[in-house]
Structure 1
Amino acid sequence: MKLTKRYFLQMLTRLATVALLSSTASISSAQEVSAELDAWLKENALGAHAMGEENWDEIVAAAKEEGEVSVYTASGRIAKVVDHFQALYPGITLTVYDLGSVKTIEKTVREQDAGIFTADVVTTGNSGQVIHELLANNRIFNYVPAHFKDKIPEENRDPLLIRVNEAMVFFYNTETYPEGAPISNVWELTQEEFRGRVGIKDPMGSGSSLMGLAVLVQFPDEMAAAYKRLTGEDIVLGDGVPDAGYEFVRRLLANDVVIFKSGSKLADAAGAKGQDDAMIAMTSMTYISRNDDKGNVNAIISDLDPASRMVYPNFMSIGANAPNPNAAKVLIAYLLGSPDITLETKLEKPYIEGASFDLLQGLAPYHDAGSVSPRNDVPLPLGGEIWDEMVGWNVSADFMWEQGPRLRDFWLIHSSQ
């Protein structure tokens, strides 16, 4: 019997449903905290033993006695704060493991399964796995410094503290399009005019890129309505495609989207000067800073139907049985910035130098137009005002956990057509 693509996609849907039921069952039946782990949590006031108040001076003193702290991170920019952190907290050595989002989770799971507990702080995106695989299975624990709790809205600290919110957006080259953004509806990217002229970082190797796509896929009704506003017609789904969200992904691939291994190289390719026919880049908003660093001429498409920014969180937490839990608490507080910051605080570029660095602390490398602090009292960076002007959708950790594997498979199937 000849297996058609429709048959294969139907089987994929059934398998995804089975996988969803299995994963949901595994979450609901996650192991209880062991007596040994519970003792560690109690000793360090974490998990069910977390207290509303803290003696911060005692925590810092205990951290200095521990003498070191390690962080597993999906962001290499944390390495930029090592010297500053160590100068602010002499006696604590900070070791940064720059692993990327996928390997951060893999290394944490693999080591803990082998009884190895090295990670003090774990910070990464990949919201579905972080919430449902790490947090739900007691591999990491939430920690919010008491002196920041009132400055961080609940949605940014529960069930897990957000280090920064970031977003996927669309860039266009201002020399190629001097009169402004060339599109006003995301479905235009699937039309013939933009065949081979849209770039994206490979979502099979990038958690942020996959989450950006997932944000669009998780709102199929809104995507279908946007298509009708553009064309005046109801959308017709491809063979075996379940809804308008997945149909957008299928058409994007069918329109010869250009896949990059590096987000920075994608931003540079789209924004290089002297181009008559530059591509549109779906990439991390943070790369707009490369206009200053690399001389790019990118601009953000800020008014796009149905959404201009696809927001995803980067979490931070304390690893189970962390060997330096007090130093982990100090590092997490440092990554949130100084308590002395207010909305009236004047911060100046370069943020990673001088007085601005001393105030922003671990936020300094991320104080750009593409990142937003979880705190409600940190002013937006220069150029970051556009964040509040754009319609934004947020990725759902539940959607990523339930549909992420299906979306990956869908991408692989249709990218091979």
Structure 2
Amino acid sequence: MTEERLPPFALIPPSSTISPPTLTNTPTQTLSLPTPRPQRSPTPHLAATATRRAESFAWLANAALGPYASAQEPLEEMERHARAEGHVTLYADSARAIAAVESFMHAYPGLEAEIQALGSYDIYLRLAETLQNGRHEADLYLVSDPPRTLSPLSQGQIHNYIPPDLASSLPQNMREPLLVHHWTALMLICSPTLSQTDPIKSWWDLTLPKWRGRVVLPDPINHEPTLYLLVTLAQHSEELAETYSSQFGRQLALDADCPNAGYQWIKDLLANQPVLLPGDADVAFKVGDPQSEEAWIGLCSYERFAKVGLGELSFTPLLEVAPAAGLRWPTYLGIVDRCLHPQSAKLLARWLMGDASGKGGYAPWYEPGLYPARADIPDPPGVLPRQALEARLWTPDYTYVNAHLQAVRDHVAAHIGHPVGGR
């Protein structure tokens, strides 16, 4: 296993996780110790690498995946092949997947299923550890965290699989480079007292004195999606600079420690005394407290909008903020390289994608704030239309994020709590 198989950064140390044991009837959860981080290993001999690749190609051919995938695969045939294997193991970063696996076993009695449901960082390390040690435990991988999830795809550790009967229901950006299961958005929201006033025009407004101490966001040092957004803002620095010039009628002046407009925005925002909280759920409750009369603008996952429909929270997503509303956050689904049960993995993948009503294996995710990859599944009730929202979002570029994440993180750390000049 080469050094590139491990993440080039480690922002969140592994924490206690929940890991169900092998399932024979219904999934259950037991506490387990954190997974040790895999140790970096020397670069293998080129012959070993070539052997592994040859084994992967042979496995792909035998499993009818990748370039050998069939354009037609009736569900009945898929089930017959899966039953010949009799077992499937899913690695996932969401507890919702436990309910989905349970429904899979009810739909296909006699097929055994096992699930490891950990946080996205922990489950990534679990996959890296098992593959590094030559243990092929996982068959299917259902994880968000685009930069880290697409990295093993590029290394051939996971493979894309599109259920043939769904190809016409999946837009191109939901099929490539890896099948998207569902997606949400990391975006700005505002308190109900502001929802009728169009409180801000652009991200630059959050750096103005008017919003000093009134912006809430997850601590980017510890909350990776927020840090990914900041890296993406740096990547789209030209758009940020154009937005600044359009709004304020002058060119943006960069400080010496700010190589572009994204870095300058980060520095100015942190100087404006934002409230930093542990996670986006905390932000949603701070901004959306229906009993509060305070006016806040916050950054959180649109997934939290489900609690608005339940009456537990009250906030409004800000769609028209320039230059973009936020970050599209997909959850991907892929089959693990040289897994032991590829046919069962195909059947479970198809089950997880659900039916055209949002039921079946997709049911645990069919709620406001989460959008199915399948275009034929209607939007959940009460949400922003998916086409309108998706058009206003950036998508994480995992190559750029991996290359620049540490620099942006260091920039954030240098300016948290340190005032700078007004702009």
TM-score, structure 1 normalization:
0.82
3-state SS, counterpart of residue 142 of structure 2: strand
Q: 1:312 Cα deviation (Å)?
A: 2.6
Aligned pair partner of 2:350 in 325, 333, 336: 333
Q: Once the 2 structures are TM-superposed, how far is the Cα of residue 31 of structure 1 from its aligned partner?
A: 4.5
Match for residue 187 of structure 1 among 194, 201, 204: 204
For 2:71 and 2:196, how far apart are their aligned partners in 1?
A: 54
**In the alignment, structure 1 residue 311 sits paired with structure 2 residue 312:** no
1:388 is aligned to 2:391:
no
For residue 61 of structure 1, the aligned residue among 59, 62, 80 is 80
Counterpart amino acid of residue 112 in structure 1: L
| Aligned with 2:123 (options 93, 96, 104) | 104
Is 1:44 matched with 2:43?
no
Counterparts of 2:417 and 2:74, CA distance in 1: 57
Name 2:95's counterpart in structure 1.
76
Partner of 2:415: 414
Amino acid at match of 1:164: H
Cα shift at 1:120: 1.3
Amino acid at match of 2:169: K
Aligned to 1:144: 162
Distance 1:259 1:144, change over 3 A: same
1:34 and 2:53 equivalent?
A: yes
Counterpart-to-counterpart distance in 2, 1:83 and 1:128: 29
1:211 corresponds in structure 2 to 228
- Match of residue 264, structure 1, among 281, 284, 308: 281
Moved more, 70-79 or 325-334: 70-79
- Inter-partner Cα distance in structure 1 for 2:387 and 2:377: 14
For residues 360 and 74 of structure 2, what CA distance do their matches in structure 1 show?
A: 21
- Richer in helix (by share): 1
User: How far did 1:242 drift?
Assistant: 0.9
Contact map agreement 1:212 1:311 (CA 8 A) in 2: no
What is the number of residues matched between the two proteins?
Answer: 372
SS in 1 for 2:263: helix
**Secondary structure in structure 2 of the residue aligned to 1:281:** strand
Tell me, yes or no, if structure 1 residue 158 matches structure 2 residue 176.
Answer: yes
Unaligned segments of structure 2, at least 5 residues: 1-7, 10-42, 419-423
Cα distance, 1:114–1:277 mapped onto 2, change above 3 Å: same
CA distance in 2, matches of 1:277, 1:31: 59
Task: Give the Cα–Cα distance (whole angstroms) in 1 for the partners of residues 302 and 147 of structure 2.
Answer: 21
Match of 2:19 in 1: none
User: For 1:35 and 1:291, how far apart are their aligned partners in 2?
Assistant: 51
1:224 aligned to which of 216, 224, 241: 241
| CA pair 281-95 structure 1, distance change in 2 beyond 3 A | farther
What whole-Å deviation, never above 9, does each CA across 1:2-34 have from its counterpart, x for those lacking one?
xxxxxxxxxxxxx99xxxxxxxxx9xx995543
- Name the % identity: 27
| SS across alignment from 1:217 | helix
Query: Cα 1:380–1:84, aligned 2, differ >3 Å: closer, same or farther?
Result: same
* Native 8 Å contact 2:352 2:360 kept in 1: yes
Q: Structure 1: 5+ residue runs without aligned partners?
A: 1-14, 17-25, 342-355
Q: 1:92 to 1:258 in 2, by over 3 A?
A: farther
**Map of 1:348 onto structure 2:** none
**Are 2:385 and 1:370 aligned?**
no
Which whole-Å CA distance do the structure 2 matches of 1:285 and 1:66 have between them? 39
Structure 1 residue identity aligned to 2:92: T
Choose from 298, 301, 304 the match for 2:315.
298
Q: CA RMSD in A?
A: 2.5
Alignment match, 1:20: none
Q: Is the 8 A contact 1:101 1:207 kept in 2?
A: no
Q: Which residue of 2 aligns with 1:349?
A: none
Please tell me whether the aligned partners of residues 127 and 400 of structure 1 are also in contact (alpha carbons under 8 angstroms).
no
**C-alpha distance in structure 2 between counterparts of 1:105 and 1:373, whole Å:** 23
TM-score by length of 2: 0.80
The structure 2 residue matched to 1:239, chosen from 256, 259, 264, is 256
> Do the aligned residues in 2 keep the contact of 1:271 with 1:278 (CA within 8 Å)?
no
Contact 2:270 / 2:417 at 8 angstroms: preserved in 1? Answer: no
Aligned equivalents of 1:93 and 1:411: distance in 2?
46
Structure 2 residue identity aligned to 1:140:
I
TM-aligned CA deviation for residue 142 of structure 1: 1.0
